Amino acid sequence: MYGNAYIDPNEKAAGILAGEDPQKLAEFEARIARGEKIEPKDWMPKEYRKQLIRMIEQHAHSEIIGALPEGTWITRAPGFKRKLALMAKVQDEVGHGQLLYSAAETLGKSREAMINDLITGKSKYSNVFNYPAFTWADACVIAWLIDAGAIINQVANAKGSYGPYCRALDRICTEESFHLKYGHDNVVTLATGSPVQRKMVQEALNRWWPPIMHFFGPSDKISNHTEILMRWKVKMATNDDMRQQFLNMYVPKIWDLGLTVPDVNLKKNEATGKWDYTEPDWEEFKRVINGDGPCNAERLAVRRNAEERGRWVREALNTTDSKYIVPLA
Amino acid sequence: MNNNAIKELLYKMADDLLIIGHRNSEWTGLGPILEEDISFSSMAQDKIGQSQALYQLLHELGEQDPDTLAFSRSAAQFHNCQLVELPNGEYDFSLVRHFLFDHADQLRFEMLANSSYEPLAKVARKVKGELKYHVFHANTWMVKLGSANEESHTRMQAALNQAWNYALGIFEEGSFEEELATTGVFEGEKELFNKWLANITPQLLKAGLILPAQDTWMPIAGGRIGNHTAHLSPLVEEMSEVFRIDPSAEW
């Protein structure tokens, strides 16, 4: 998983390039157009740096917050095979967080500052993790379909222009492809299992469908801003294109398992080759992303608590090698 | 060779590993730094995998399959020492427990690498290689936190004092000690305890921590015969929650 680094496509473009040296900017854009990667010490426009930090940071946060809903099922996973695999998967996700924080740090923001912004609610993470994983089947659906969505996003972003982010994503995508297999295997097992298991997985899919449709973000209005970010290869595909790609790849697989998707309007439009669907509730999306979802408060409270409880350890790590000696009196 | 003696040995070892592995996994997503989150998860995976290998040996001796053994017994049927079932507490306690338990387990598996019971010796030769890294991890952190600053030192010493008598419970003797020793299966808990004490004493000194005074040592035993703290039952319930929905189903 997990991150879909979400850029608000509707942010105003005005002022993005204000104060940039036109010659340097032209050279920078020419490099990107030639397919070169931008490296940490290279010149870059302020807006490029800002958007990348925001994107990579959000992605990193999504990895560590995403570990929470799945992590609660590690202690309940049924049987050795599932328990070991889920532990390894969630560990990978935390590792992705570590890798991404390092990539973002190359742009000048420290991991600590990023985590502070996460726990104070200043920076966001993927909206899907503000929903609860009620049953084992929810964890299975997350592992399959949310990871599938994330892979679509990440494979696209891995072709972006910022070197450290691309390299992190290449490695992440390799691991993600195993997660996808893990998730799929779990869902297949439940969908072909006992009536109780089938019911569990169908109910989980029903619960997770709206957040999955939200996952790629709202429709892009082609703004000046989006255009610049796409020219700079910060944003690599539109939200709608990624959503279509997801539906195209996974709806047939869901149907193959005899599961249904809770959207009566979902069908492939033969004329356009695209999927028709009921427009997701973007008001709910906004409400949840702004803090009012079923689990926002809980997720942040857990993360904040972990930070608080671990503070003494981090402080101890910051001490020099000189040893603390217990005073004699 | 007496199968009951071997089974008793395997059960306590497997249960120790499963339960401490489960506790280690509870740090996932909650570690004090991401790197430790990842470390505890690695160790948890090793330990749970090791327990599975030991349950498999039990299965080969006629017991039920590993999943059934791990996921459908009640707390009173577990033979782990009480140390491993205690809640994680803060990172200080988790780390001290990890240090005390892993030193003992590494030595146990080293001893078993030469066991006359070849299936166990074979597993032990693989496991001891993994445990080497667990002990290395524990030692590094004990030294760092034991002597970094006043708070970390105080916490680590308090955690050591709290864990100590439980740790002595690791070495609770079973009913077949002599038989296992004379047949060359396992040299016994007394021998293990002596080696353990000799190993951890210099490490604790290096960490600036003091071993509790010997006249206060009161081993907390009972785990090996199914007497547990109130903490094990909820752990076992949670662990088997999904499995029990349909134990005959494939998950």
B151: chain A residues, CB-CB within 8 Å: 312, 315-316
> Within its chain, how far is the Cα of A183 from the centroid?
16
- A interface with B, Cβ–Cβ below 8 Å: 64, 67-68, 71, 74-80, 82-84, 87-88, 90-91, 94-95, 97-98, 101, 136, 189, 193-194, 196-197, 302, 306, 309-317, 319, 323-326
Query: What value, to the nearest 5°, has the Cα angle with vertex A177 and ends A76 and A5?
Result: 90
Of residues A139, A88, A79, the one with CA closest to residue B51? A79
CB B229 within 8 A of CB B85: yes
Q: Are B148 and A310 a contacting pair at CB < 8 A?
A: no
* Residue A301, pLDDT above cutoff 90: yes
Residue-level pLDDT at B130: 96
Identity at B112, one-letter amino acid code:
L
Residue-level pLDDT at A19: 87
Supply B157's token pair: 């010493």
B174-202 pLDDT, tens digit each: 999 999 999 999 999 999 999 999 999 99
pLDDT-based confidence at residue A220 (cuts at 50, 70, 90): confident
Residue-level pLDDT at A94: 96
Strands (E), chain A: 267-269, 274-276
* Residue A149, pLDDT above cutoff 70: yes
- Tell me, yes or no, whether B93 lies in a domain: yes
Kindly list the distances between the CA atom of residue A128 and the CA atoms of A68, A238, A284, in Å, as whole numbers in the listed order.
12, 19, 12
Higher pLDDT, A189 or A15: A189
Identity at B12, one-letter amino acid code:
K
- Tell me, yes or no, whether B7 lies in a domain: yes
φ, ψ at A327 (rounded to 5°): -60, 150
A157-207 pLDDT, tens digit each: 999 999 999 999 999 999 999 999 999 999 999 999 999 999 999 999 999
Residue-level pLDDT at A322: 64
Eight-state DSSP code of residue A75: G
Mutate to test the interface with A, among B25, B244, B248 (most CBs of A within 10 A): B25
Instruction: Give dist(CA A164, CA B72) in Å, integer.
Output: 47
Residue-level pLDDT at A153: 94
* Residue A2, pLDDT above cutoff 90: no
Instruction: Give dist(CA B11, CA B74) in Å, integer.
Output: 14
- Tell me, yes or no, whether B13 lies in a domain: yes
- Tell me, yes or no, whether B101 lies in a domain: yes
Mean pLDDT of A72-80: 97
Supply A78's token pair: 């049924």
Instruction: Give dist(CA A42, CA A162) in Å, integer.
Output: 10
Quick check: helix, strand or coil at residue B63?
A: coil
The set of residues, in sequence order, having a beta carbon less than 8 Å from that of B216 and lying 6+ positions away, is: none
pLDDT-based confidence at residue A320 (cuts at 50, 70, 90): confident
Give the predicted TM-score (pTM) of the model: 0.94
Name which of A79, A94, A306 is nearest B251 (Cβ-Cβ): A79
Q: Does B226 touch chain A (CB under 8 A)?
A: no
Q: Are B35 and A98 a contacting pair at CB < 8 A?
A: yes
pLDDT 10s per residue in chain B (251 long)? 789 999 999 999 999 999 999 999 999 999 999 999 999 999 999 999 999 999 999 999 999 999 999 999 999 999 999 999 999 999 999 999 999 999 999 999 999 999 999 999 999 999 999 999 999 999 999 999 999 999 999 999 999 999 999 999 999 999 999 999 999 999 999 999 999 999 999 999 999 999 999 999 999 999 999 999 999 999 999 999 999 999 889 99
Q: Does B241 touch chain A (CB under 8 A)?
A: yes
- Tell me, yes or no, whether B92 lies in a domain: yes
Residue-level pLDDT at A225: 75
List the CATH number of the domain containing B219.
Answer: 1.20.1260.10
Name which of A76, A83, A319 is nearest B48 (Cβ-Cβ): A83
Domain count, chain B: 1
CB A82 within 8 A of CB A22: no
A81 CB-side CA count, 13 A: 10
The set of residues, in sequence order, having a beta carbon less than 8 Å from that of B5 and lying 6+ positions away, is: B174, B176, B179, B180, B183, B185
**Domain containing residue B60:** 3-245
Q: What is the sign, positive or negative, of the torsion defined by CA atoms of A64, A69, A75, A78?
A: negative
CB burial of residue A132 (10 Å; 0-12, 13-18, 19+): middle
Quick check: helix, strand or coil at residue B27?
A: coil
**What count of CB pairs under 8 Å joins A to B?**
141
Mutate to test the interface with B, among A187, A324, A325, A328 (most CBs of B within 10 A): A324
In chain A, the percentage of residues whose pLDDT exceeds 90 is 84
Instruction: Give dist(CA B151, CA B200) in Å, integer.
Output: 22
Residue-level pLDDT at B96: 98
Mean pLDDT, chain A, as a whole number? 92
With a CB-CB cutoff of 8 Å, which residues 97-126 of chain B face chain A?
A: none
Identity at B67, one-letter amino acid code:
D
* Residue A226, pLDDT above cutoff 60: yes
Superfamily of domain A27-307: Ferritin, core subunit, four-helix bundle (1.20.1260.10)
Of residues A203, A38, A82, the one with CA closest to residue A137? A203
- Tell me, yes or no, whether B250 lies in a domain: no
Q: Are B251 and A78 a contacting pair at CB < 8 A?
A: yes
Supply A122's token pair: 């200043």
Residue-level pLDDT at A13: 56
